[in-house]
Amino acid sequence: MLNIPHLINSQRTYFTTGKTMPIKVRLQALKKLYKSVKKHEGKIHEALFSDFKKPLYESISSETGIVVRELQLAIKQLEFWARPKKVKGSLLNFPARDYIYYEPYGTTLIIAPWNYPYQLALTPLIGAIAAGNTVVLKPSELTSATSQVLEMIIQEVFSSEHVAVVQGAIPETTELLSQRWDYIFFTGSVFVGKIVAQAAAKHLTPTTLELGGKNPCVVDASVNVSLVTKRIVWGKFLNAGQTCIAPDYILIESSIKTSFLQALEKEIKRAYSSDVEASPDFARIINEKNFDRLAKMLEGESISFGGQTDRDQLYIAPTIIDNPSIDSLVMADEIFGPILPVISYTSKADIERIIDRYEKPLSGYIFSRKRAFTNWFLERFSFGGGAVNDTVIQFVNEALPFGGVGHSGVGSYHGKHTFLTFSHAKAIVKKGNWLDIPIRYAPYKGKNKLLRFVLKWL
């Protein structure tokens, strides 16, 4: 096995030499990365297909396209992002000018999951490099083809003292986590997120934890059902439901449940044809373990549509479960697959009773034409982010911070937020020497009144 302590030492030494610091060097690295990811785009798409039959369109829209946009933005904006920012000074310090300096943390670790194995590895990496850190990247062991292409790209662009890939599963990740890092960025499950947080706490290492949750999607009777089902079917069955921000379950106002279920079925057939298994636009489940976990959720449930499974092909059809019990397996935890429970409600109290059962989710969605009801949902429930009258789309705007709250995560990223995540904001006051107001210096005798006055009025 690779000598991990040796690798980290070499990165620490490299960082200490200051080689990652000049903005010019960071820009060169990002441009080189851009060239390489463009050059190998075809290989990445092939790898994603071989890992879990990810449709080419979805690979472009949710993997390579996003990485290219993030790179373009970082290359365009880095000089501005990294410049010390002048902030309003305090008269208490007069005469002085106040600034925020952005400094890299140092040697950082990025651990990526399998569901968007390319994009969720490189998007944080772009910000980490832009901010001037070194990086050890641990891609997912479940998407071996994509992880190999990632390693090839990183080796082509960076020296291992700057950025290195460590492949592996639990033993390798455990060893990585036993080391001291200056920052850890983890994307994955809540269960492993807790392991990462514990390991980081030993060294007081700051972390970003991008985790998951059970994302509610509320639909009231004021909506245009056919438009709503289009947007829900797209967001739910993209990547075969293996999306951290996919709607997990639907809460539907009871008066439109029947027409909603019919419209869902119609939309699934329209999008993927009546023979979904043959559709080139529907991905597969990542492995047997996840297939078995999902197939178990179907047992004993009232399936209103779908339900077909093929273990050899790791195929599970887009499946709608009509009013499952709240105590059923499918409502126990994040589903993370192409199964959509639809539960009816008649009052706000019903909605509260269900959403409040779970930890704060990564996303929340509401479809409604009623402003007051929409605002109630947005203010009443805490979740990482979301959308009104759509699903998943909050992800594509780099101006929005992407992250969870509570059990769905700590911290956020995308665009400039990634640069900020990987930078320490250092507060600096530059004091002028032309005036030195004596009130703060001892002896303090006779100055209390003046101090009170100053504190009140400045």
- Using CB under 6 A, list all residues that contact ligand NAD: 111-115, 120, 138, 140-141, 169-170, 173-174, 187-189, 192, 195, 210-212, 244, 334, 336, 362, 404, 409
Dist CA 453 CA 351 (whole Å): 53
Shortest distance, position 109 Cβ to ligand NAD, whole Å: 11
Residue nearest to ligand NAD (CB): 212
Query: Would you say 173 or 421 has its CB closer to ligand NAD?
Result: 173
Query: Would you say 201 or 439 has its CB closer to ligand NAD?
Result: 201
- Please state, in angstroms and as integers, the Cα–Cα distance from residue 311 to each residue in 144, 289, 315, following that order: 20, 10, 6
Query: Would you say 59 or 229 has its CB closer to ligand NAD?
Result: 59
Shortest distance, position 296 Cβ to ligand NAD, whole Å: 17
Encoded tokens for 204: 């007081």
Please say if 277 is a catalytic residue.
no
Beta-carbon contacts of 421 under 8 Å, excluding residues fewer than 6 positions away, are 124, 127, 185, 208, 411, 412, 413
Shortest distance, position 191 Cβ to ligand NAD, whole Å: 6
Query: Would you say 230 or 416 has its CB closer to ligand NAD?
Result: 416
Shortest distance, position 112 Cβ to ligand NAD, whole Å: 6
Please say if 244 is a catalytic residue.
yes
Query: Would you say 252 or 355 has its CB closer to ligand NAD?
Result: 355
Spot the catalytic one: 63, 210, 334, 398. 210
* First CA to last CA distance, the chain: 61
Dist CA 445 CA 234 (whole Å): 72
Shortest distance, position 195 Cβ to ligand NAD, whole Å: 5
CA 370 to chain centre: 30
Place of tokens 């492995």: 287
DSSP readout, 312-357?
TTTEE--EEEES--TTSGGGTS---SSEEEEEEESSHHHHHHHHTT
Dist CA 65 CA 67 (whole Å): 6
- 190-202 and 170-178 are packed helices; what angle lies between their axes, rounded to 10 degrees? 30
The residues annotated with a catalytic role in the active site are: 210, 244
